[in-house]
Structure 1
């Protein structure tokens, strides 16, 4: 499954290769539907699809509908009721309702191509951004995105603030109907130490729409060629983090340096920041040793409880790849919990 960023990269590539396509977006759902609002899929004329809106026969039906709309060169909205009898007809037992937006896009749609280019250029700026669709007319829908510093690109909406939520929303503004979803979430994952686990973790997190910065004091382990999926690689001194970066309340920190002393130095500085999440790789023995030093530095037990050690969900992970999965799972959990609160 492609990440949201990869879907827009695919869209851009399709337009450059003179291929029309349909973006399928879940714009509303209720009950036990497979995927929630904001789930996306891109469909080409031959039925090739990228991304997912939940799989099963709903997705299969959506691919067929996309092919029909590609032939007609039209956009549309389609609601599917997955109650018990209809669900059985589709080979599904989940139940619920789902509304899909099928956005037809011609390869020569210059406005959307420019929007894709700008969006991908802005992706790693670590700023919140929202995808906004004008769904007033079913067959002629427009698309834009809003970024905190740049404002709204591709659409003109009076008072867009009501559309800027941390979850998908629909709203009527000045007589027009809009759908909005968070596209890019502010918050960087800072990974201290570019060893084996980091090398497994960065591509996995990038695939999950997390932006990553890798920090190491060794050139070979803070190299963009080693971490092509990272937003940034920094070579610097572990004892002077503030010289290179600023940790905010939206950021996640994963500490996995090559030694106890470096882990201690990083934790000592990170505890003074408002980081949303702090995870440290290592054994309970290592945790006890470093915590004793941090307590002697004046940190309180309450402050030290901000640190998750061992890092990641307890799935009995052993290999670097397995540990990366456990860390990614924990970051997903933290992100989802915050979204639910909002």
Structure 2
């Protein structure tokens, strides 16, 4: 999304228009779901993706047809070979409803604000879109500091129930879409060893902010983790107060030894973190659970720890383990973490 809005800002700054396309609802099997976005430019080029293939080609075609008139639209595309006029001939079997918001250069301040929020994700931000068939753009941004900006499409009181981690569509003659643009939580990687070195760039690639924490000076070096937001040299026995994890944050514990893992878990378990995972075998997990229980943690608190960490994909190299952890964090962020 950061690259998409940066590309939109560059295009609008040149005095050209563009179309922002977003999936607002889907049913059945589709390549991507609500919250997927693509921008289509006057030369036919695109930024972002809503799933590729025939669906993306049809969305691009529709966007280019709408662009000269500057009118917004809402279209539903079927992805099953039924022979219907709007059938894409795909075998997914579902359908996707896509909004088309034509943007002219007057939208540049909004797009720049969105790009800046994505570049510095210090707070949650939602994109608010008023879907008005045949009319010009009406979009805004909402966050807890600035409130609702760039649009008066809805009152802040009516908007607040729609603020969630999922794209929310309020149907009606003038439909309103509210979708999370920035989710401000961080992943704290406790341990910058082989797995951490593989995991950090992977997480950054899929939109997580990463803080590396290690108690070894040779490992807690910024040049070892150029993608990380912060690299901290810490004492695992007494983590700094600045590492107070919120309900938006994630903790992946993979220190150099069992005692380091225990010390970190002892301090992060009382936090409201959205995710806590610890690397290691099932035997190690059982030992750590027993020791944490002896420190007074309840079974419900201990059940929060995902250990062995990551989804069970059968990998054993540092890179493969990193993939499994990243997949589990993505599932947690999407609200689809397996029990």
Q: Shorter-chain TM-score: what band?
A: 0.7 to 0.9
- Contact 2:77/2:96, CA 8 A, preserved across alignment: yes
Aligned CA distance change for structure 1 residues 67 and 240 (closer, same or farther; 3 Å)? same
**Within 2, Cα distance between the matches of 1:176 and 1:86?**
27
**Within 2, Cα distance between the matches of 1:251 and 1:60?**
37
Other-structure match for 1:50: 47
Q: Structure 1, residues 47-99: CA drift from partner, whole Å, max 9, x if none?
A: 33232212221111112222333445544333323452238952212233322
- Contact 2:188/2:250, CA 8 A, preserved across alignment: yes
Q: Structure 1, residues 125-163: CA drift from partner, whole Å, max 9, x if none?
A: 1x3321101223533022211112321122223132243
- Contact 1:18/1:108, CA 8 A, preserved across alignment: no
Select between 54-63 and 37-46 the one with higher mean Cα deviation: 37-46
What SS does the aligned partner of 1:43 have? strand
User: Deviation at 1:32?
Assistant: 2.8
Select between 313-322 and 14-23 the one with higher mean Cα deviation: 14-23
Other-structure match for 1:181: 179
Instruction: Map 1:262-301 onto structure 2 (within 5 A).
Output: 262-301=260-299
**Within 1, Cα distance between the matches of 2:248 and 2:53?**
35
Aligned CA distance change for structure 1 residues 178 and 290 (closer, same or farther; 3 Å)? closer
Aligned CA distance change for structure 1 residues 73 and 176 (closer, same or farther; 3 Å)? closer
User: Deviation at 1:222?
Assistant: 3.6
Other-structure match for 1:248: 246
Mark the runs of 5 or more structure 1 residues left unpaired by the alignment. Answer: none
- Given the alignment, which residue of 146, 149, 155 partners 1:150? 146
Other-structure match for 2:34: 37
- Contact 1:12/1:116, CA 8 A, preserved across alignment: no
Other-structure match for 1:213: 211
- Contact 2:277/2:306, CA 8 A, preserved across alignment: yes
User: Deviation at 1:265?
Assistant: 1.1
Instruction: Map 1:1-342 onto structure 2 (within 5 A).
Output: 4-16=1-13, 20-82=17-79, 84-86=82-84, 89-107=87-105, 109-121=107-119, 123-125=120-122, 127-156=123-152, 157-158=154-155, 159=157, 160-171=159-170, 176-337=174-335
User: Deviation at 1:205?
Assistant: 2.1
Aligned CA distance change for structure 1 residues 11 and 234 (closer, same or farther; 3 Å)? farther
Report the TM-score, using the length of structure 1 for normalisation.
0.85
RMSD: 2.9
Report the TM-score, using the length of structure 2 for normalisation.
0.85
Aligned CA distance change for structure 1 residues 314 and 124 (closer, same or farther; 3 Å)? same
Q: Count residues in correspondence.
A: 334
Aligned CA distance change for structure 1 residues 297 and 82 (closer, same or farther; 3 Å)? closer
